[in-house]
């Protein structure tokens, strides 16, 4: 069972009535991402694949920049954290030991008329959102508190009774004809080896963490690491999500950035607090206002945790989890030791003692972080003056995350201006991502750069040939100034470190 998340279904009538403007904002971001080469529905020519997305030319750069920023903070800037890259496929017993075969499931309920399946918590939360939107907040709070209690007790009969008592209806069929509540495992499985050979069922990993646990001693010994130390990893994870909507917020194939911090038993409380603070500071370092974040303590703990919370961000659809911080005790290592029959203890030379380390985990979804960064950056600005109507859509990414850092734009395609612009390109492109363009008016080119979030554009004009200067235009203020060509690299690099 996964911890509780407040995720209403954006397509449900509850959601639409709740926050039409924010829904429109999410839709505007989705359209913008498609129009400007950030994110496309997967295999779109075949009408797409539900809850699977492809990152385009700018989306993949943005994704890489966010991943690199996380990696740098979690490895390079730490004294005692190293990174690994484990395989997606793992021995099937891994998932038995980790508890995922038996426990990685959500309570689901089917509507017998429409055949639509819901995660029980999403169904109830959607209804609670509707109550709140119609001014019945205390009733909504009481309903959520009751749901939390029943979920914590795994009381499926009670959950069904609650849904029936409240007369919660299916958003598709409009009826309240519900099945029993059942658990539904979220792991994808496939066969290893060809069918004619002896096939064995394996799983696509539902979290990257287990690749770290099974390599814990390999890394500790070869890296001569002393507790406390951490192992970080980024990579794909797969979950057969039932309610997989809300764009890249909840996908079936997604990417995680996880770090397991190995500690002495008994120190988990202190490290849990440490990582809560450190991870919140990382989010704030993206320039996002603190009031857009909050902690949400888990009521129902995952099968491996003795304390857990989410960092929630105010997405256009409301506060939602972007990262989890979990005190995982020695649950994983102890179980891997038991199932593998290999000793996974650490010898602590200071205590002169062997023990299985405890673990505090930080686990953030890369795709959710991208949606968070996009939600912050996306702005529709009215630039109208008394004589002229005007507007622009701009992505105000922090420069360090922007897909393209510098646009180099010759004013015209002749008279030696492209040559000067290409010299600038040659001197900058090995340091950061540049974009060269000579088509269209300069105004149109600026707007295109705003739309993909390029923080700096330089225009090469006739004066450039005479005095080796260019006009630099700043995306956010749209201010322009004359600077020497020699200064371009430093101005950009100062902002992207
Ligand atoms: N190893 C712990 C773990 O996997 P989790 O809370 O299930 O914990 C961690 O997932 C993070 O992964 C979440 O905070 C979220 O950002 C991301 N995540 C989980 N499921 C996701 C999905 N279906 N689509 C996109 N991101 C997801």
Query: What confidence tier does 242 reach under pLDDT thresholds 50, 70, 90?
Result: confident
CB distance 2 to ligand 1 below 6 Å: yes
Distance 242 CA to ligand 1 centre (A): 14
**Where do we find the tokens 């995680």?**
256
pLDDT category at 194 given cuts 50, 70, 90 is: low
Predicted model pTM? 0.87
Q: Is the model's pLDDT at 496 over the cut of 70?
A: yes
Q: How confident is the model at residue 10 (pLDDT cuts 50, 70, 90)?
A: very low
Using the predicted structure, report yes or no on whether residue 18 has a pLDDT greater than 60.
no
pLDDT tier, 243 (very low <50, low <70, confident <90, very high otherwise) = low
7 pLDDT higher than 50 = no
20 pLDDT higher than 70: no
Which residue lies with its CA nearest to atom 12 of ligand 1?
Answer: 365
Residue 207 CB–ligand 1 contact under 6 Å: yes
HSE of 384, CA atoms in CB hemisphere, 13 A: 6
Q: Note whether 462 and 451 are within 8 A (CB).
A: no
pLDDT at res. 184: 87
Nearest CA to ligand 1 atom 6: 324
> Model confidence at 302, in pLDDT bands (50, 70, 90)?
confident
Q: Is the CB of 332 under 6 A from ligand 1?
A: no
C-beta 296 within 6 A of ligand 1: no
CATH number (3.30.930.10, 3.90.105.10, 3.40.50.300, 3.30.40.230) of 105-185 reads 3.30.40.230
Give the distance (Å) from ligand 1 centre to CA of residue 371.
Answer: 14
Binding site membership of 245 for ligand 1 (Cβ less than 6 Å) = no
| Lowest-pLDDT choice from 84-88, 103-107, 367-371, 471-475 | 103-107
In this prediction, residue 43 has a pLDDT band, given cuts at 50, 70 and 90, of: very high
Per-residue model confidence (pLDDT) at position 198: 56
Fold held by 404-496: Rossmann fold (3.40.50)
pLDDT for 14 beyond 90: no
Q: Evaluate whether 17 touches 253 at the Cβ level (below 8 Å).
A: no
Q: Could you tell me where in the chain the CATH 3.30.40.230 domains are found?
A: 105-185
Locate the ligand 1 atom nearest the alpha carbon of residue 207 and give its number.
4
Which of 144-148, 168-172, 300-304, 373-377 bottoms out in mean pLDDT, i.e. has the lowest?
Answer: 300-304
**What does the pLDDT look like over 476-489, one tens digit per residue?**
999 999 999 999 99
Nearest CA to ligand 1 atom 17: 365
Q: Is the pLDDT of residue 16 over 50?
A: no
Domain with CATH 3.40.50.800 in the chain: 404-496
CATH (one of 3.40.50.300, 3.40.50.10190, 3.30.930.10, 3.40.190.80) for 22-102+187-375: 3.30.930.10
Q: Are strands 229-238 and 81-83 parallel, antiparallel or unpaired?
A: parallel
> Does the pLDDT of residue 457 top 70, yes or no?
yes
Cα separation, 17 vs 164, whole angstroms: 22
Measure the CA–CA gap between 442 and 448, rounded to whole angstroms.
10
Question: Counting atoms of ligand 1 from 1, which one is nearest the CA of 249?
Answer: 25
Q: Is the CB of 209 under 6 A from ligand 1?
A: yes
Q: How far apart are CA 67 and CA 378, in angstroms?
A: 20
At a CB cut-off of 8 Å and minimum separation 6, what does 70 contact? 234, 257, 282, 364, 366, 369
């Amino acid at each position: 069972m996964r911890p509780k998340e407040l995720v209403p279904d954006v397509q449900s009538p509850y959601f639409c009535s709740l926050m039409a403007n924010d829904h429109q904002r999410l839709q505007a971001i989705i359209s913008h991402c498609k129009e400007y080469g950030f994110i496309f529905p997967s295999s779109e020519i075949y009408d797409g694949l539900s809850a699977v997305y492809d990152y385009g030319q700018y989306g993949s750069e943005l994704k890489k920049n966010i991943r690199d920023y996380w990696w740098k903070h979690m490895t390079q800037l730490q004294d005692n954290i190293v990174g690994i890259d484990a395989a997606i496929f793992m021995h099937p017993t891994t998932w038995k030991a980790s508890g995922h075969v038996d426990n990685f499931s959500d309570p689901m309920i089917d509507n017998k008329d429409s055949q639509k399946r819901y995660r029980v918590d999403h169904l109830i939360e959607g209804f609670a959102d509707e109550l709140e939107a119609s001014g019945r907040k205390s009733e909504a709070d009481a309903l959520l508190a009751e749901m939390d209690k029943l979920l914590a007790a795994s009381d499926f009969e009670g959950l069904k009774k609650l849904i029936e008592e409240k007369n919660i209806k299916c958003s598709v069929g409009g009826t309240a004809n519900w099945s029993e509540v059942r658990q539904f495992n979220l792991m994808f499985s496939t066969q290893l080896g060809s069918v004619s050979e002896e096939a064995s069922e394996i799983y696509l990993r539902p979290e990257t963490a287990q690749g770290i646990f099974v390599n814990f001693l390999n890394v500790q010994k070869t890296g001569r690491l002393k507790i406390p130390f951490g192992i970080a990893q980024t990579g794909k994870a797969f979950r057969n999500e039932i309610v997989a909507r809300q764009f890249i917020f909840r996908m079936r194939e997604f990417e995680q950035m996880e770090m397991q911090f190995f500690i002495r038993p008994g120190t988990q409380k202190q490290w849990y607090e440490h990582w809560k603070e450190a991870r919140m500071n990382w989010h704030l370092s993206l320039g996002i206002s603190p009031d857009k974040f909050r902690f949400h303590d888990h009521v129902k703990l995952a099968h491996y945790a003795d304390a857990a919370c989410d960092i929630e961000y105010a997405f256009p659809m409301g506060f939602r989890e972007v990262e989890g911080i979990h005190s995982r005790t020695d649950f994983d290592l102890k179980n891997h030791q038991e199932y593998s029959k290999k000793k996974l203890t650490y010898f602590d030379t200071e205590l002169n003692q062997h023990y299985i380390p405890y673990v505090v985990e930080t686990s953030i979804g890369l795709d959710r972080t991208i949606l968070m960064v996009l939600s912050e950056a996306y702005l529709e600005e009215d630039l109208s003056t008394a004589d002229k109507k005007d507007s622009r859509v701009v992505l105000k990414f922090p420069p360090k995350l922007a897909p393209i850092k510098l646009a180099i734009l010759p004013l015209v395609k002749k008279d030696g201006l492209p040559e000067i612009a290409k010299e600038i390109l040659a001197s900058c492109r090995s340091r950061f991502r540049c974009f060269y363009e000579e088509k269209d008016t300069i105004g149109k080119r600026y707007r295109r750069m705003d739309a993909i979030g390029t923080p700096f554009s330089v225009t090469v004009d006739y004066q450039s040939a005479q005095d080796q200067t260019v006009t630099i235009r700043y995306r956010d203020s749209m201010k322009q100034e004359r600077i020497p060509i020699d200064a371009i690299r430093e101005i950009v690099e100062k902002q992207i470190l």
